[in-house]
Structure formats: C-alpha cells, structure tokens
Amino acid sequence: MADETITSYKGFDQDLKCRGFQYAVGETFEHEGETRACHRGFHACEHPLNVFGYYAPAGNRFAVVEQFGTLSRHDEDTKVASSKITIKAEIGIPGLVKAAVEYVTKRCHPVDPASPQLATGDYGAASSTGYQGAASSTGYQGAASSTGNRGAASSTGNRGAASSTGYQGAASSTGYQGAASSTGYRGAASSTGDYGAASSTGDQGAASSTGYQGAASSTGYQGAASSTGYRGAASSTGYQGAASSTGDYGAASSTGNQGAASSTGYRGAASSTGDYGAASSTGDYGAASSTGDQGAASSTGYQGAASSTGDYGAASSTGYQGAASSTGYQGAASSTGVAGAAMASGSGGRAKGANGNALFLVYRDDDGAITKAGAAIVGVDGIRPDVWYALDASGAFVEYEAENDE
C-alpha cells in the first residue's frame, strides 16, 4: 500500500462503465474502505497495453486516468488499484500505442555519452548487446541496435534505423526514411519520419508510425499498431491486437481474435478477420470488413462499404450511397445514409435503413437453400425507416422480432 499519484490507463465498455460502475470523463471518484489490487478500489494499468488483458480493443473504450490516494499494485502485471481516480481524457488505439512506446522507452537505461554505443556522426552506427543496454545514433544514415534485455535503440538521423530485440526493449527512429523494429517481449517500436516503418513482433508490443507513407505492424499477443500519416498502413495479427490508420489512403488490418481495425482517412480501409473483431472506416470511399463470428463492420464515409461475413455479425453503413452487407447466420445489415443499401443474405438475417435506402433479403430453408429473395425501398409500400425487417417463407417483408433469435 502506498499514497502516491500516478498516470495510468483504464478500459471501459461502450457506455464508459467498468464492472457496472458508471464513469465520466473529467470527473473524480472516491472509493471508501479497503483498497486491494484485483479486489477493491478503482483499477487501471500503468503499461497502456496491459489494459487489453481486461478489455479487448474491439468494442470497448479507453482513457488516460490519474490514480491517487491509497494504491495497491498487482503482482502479475502493471494493474493498480486506487482509492481515488480521475478520468482525464478518452484515448483511442493510436494514443495507447504512443503511450506504450513512451512507457517502455522511459524505462530503458540511457547511453553513456563517452560510450562507443553512442554514434553522433553521419553514417555512424551504435550497437549495445548487454542487459539493459541502450544504443543511439543521431547522425545522417546512422543505425542503432540493442539486443540485450530491456535495451533501447534510438536513431534520430535521416534514413536511420533502430532495432531492439531484447526483452522489454524499445526502438525509435524519428528521421526521414527511418525504420524501427522491436522483436522482444513487451517491446515498442516508433517511427515518426517520412517513409518510416515500425514493427513490433513481441508479445504485448506496440508499433507506431506517424510519418508520410509510414507503416506499422504488430504481430505479438495483445499488440497494437497505429499509422497516422498519409498513405500509412497498420497491421496487427496477434490475439486481441488493434490496428488503426487515420491518414489518407491508409489501411488497417487486424486478424487476431478480438482484434479491432479502424481507418478514418480518405479512401481508407479497415479489415478484421478474427472472431469478435470489429472494423470501422469513417473516411470517404472507405471500406470496412469483418469476417469473424460476431464481428462488426462500420463504414460512415461517402460511398463507403461495410461487410460482415461471420455468424451474428453486423454491418453498418451511414454515409452517402454507402452499402452494408451481412452474409453470416442471423447477421444484420443497416444503411442509414442517403441513397445507400443494406443486404442480409444469411439464414435468419435482417436489414434496416433510412428513407430512400434499399433493402435486400433472402429466405433460406432448413438446408440453407435460398427459396425466396426480396428487395424493397424504405419509405415505399409500407416499409418503415429504422425498423428491422426479415423475409418470411412466402417472400414477404416482415418486421423482425427479437424472439426470432430463439
């Protein structure tokens, strides 16, 4: 137990609740009685990516918080229970990745200025292979490599490269055409320069690339990848991973279970193929695709498309002339924008839309064969807006009822 103040990160459900308790951004909450990690008090994690162990990136919300009063720490990760907590600000996947990189980097030992592990000249190279070592190269076309546990590698010069392969290592390259790679457990890689690339393949790793045409890839367990630059790409293939690309022409792909992919830039694309995954594309001409069971795909941009092929999945398109398609069992498709379309082709599927949108539905027999198909325009022939419809055995549109799920 200790009385101190720390900055940490907390997960919530879509309603900003945690274990039934309602939180609000900007407010402070106080717990009375015992404070004990995993039992009593307000819980959050100091390592940003540890929150994914409690709240998967798909379908949940996250915030940076301030914990103070009486604190109690968990033995297995960085989870902390506190008697008081302030919800400072909501933070997305890109913010969590950036915070994770900073968290790991701050805990690495600096390089001794007199050490040969530091190279400051053009074309210089720095290498550190010892435990908790650090390598830094700040010159033009320099390279930095740290292979020891908890090591850090940093290259800030143009065309530099930084690589950290040890446990809890961090790699950062901020120069033009730089590259950063961290393959160790809980490692972090960050590349902020133009044409830069960041790759983190270790468990709970994070990769962030914010420069023009940058790419970020995280393949480890609970990893996260974020690319915010123009034409950037982010890919996270690990379990509970998250990928976010907010730049124009960007793409985000998350193939692990409970993964999430989000692309908010112009012509961006988001794809999540894991179970319970979610894909969201909010830019014009964007596309979102989720193929895992119970996945969700959402496209809110102009002429965007959303596709969900898993059972019980949902696809939603809210932009102008957008399209939503759900092909899995009891899937749902919704098109609420102007002149859009929603199609549900799975058994027990349903669709809804705003006035002027088109709905396409099928009816399948017990063997899965299509026996009827139907099309309708919302607002015409009694089809009401924002009402779920299914197709019955006669091929008629009928209002969908919850008991149809049983």
Distance of CA 404 to the CA centre of its chain: 33
Of residues 361, 345, 351, the one with CA closest to residue 385: 351
What is the chain's pLDDT, residue by residue, as a tens digit (406 residues)?
557 899 999 999 989 999 999 999 999 999 999 999 999 999 999 988 888 888 877 678 999 999 999 999 998 889 999 999 999 999 987 788 778 777 766 665 555 555 544 454 455 566 667 666 667 677 666 677 777 776 677 777 677 787 878 776 777 788 787 788 888 777 778 888 788 888 888 777 788 888 888 888 888 787 788 888 888 899 988 787 888 898 888 899 989 887 889 898 888 899 999 888 889 998 888 899 999 888 899 999 888 899 999 888 999 999 899 999 999 999 999 999 999 999 999 999 999 999 999 999 999 999 999 999 999 999 999 999 999 999 999 999 999 975 444 3
Asked if residues 277 and 254 have their Cβ atoms less than 8 Å apart, the reply is yes
Torsion of CA 31, 25, 52, 165, to 10 degrees: -110
According to DSSP, the residues that pair with 299 across neighbouring strands are 281, 317
And the tokens for 28? 């402070």
Instruction: Check residue 403 and give its pLDDT.
Output: 44
Q: Given the DSSP bridges, would you call strands 233-236 and 215-218 parallel, antiparallel or unpaired? A: parallel
Residues 6+ positions from 255 with CB-CB distance below 8 Å? 236, 237, 271, 272, 273, 274, 277
CA distance 318 to 134: 49
Looking up tokens 């092929």 gives 309
Rounded CA-CA distance 349/329 in Å is: 6
Contact 63, 45 (CB under 8 A): no
Closest CA relative to residue 249, chosen from 280, 218, 284: 284
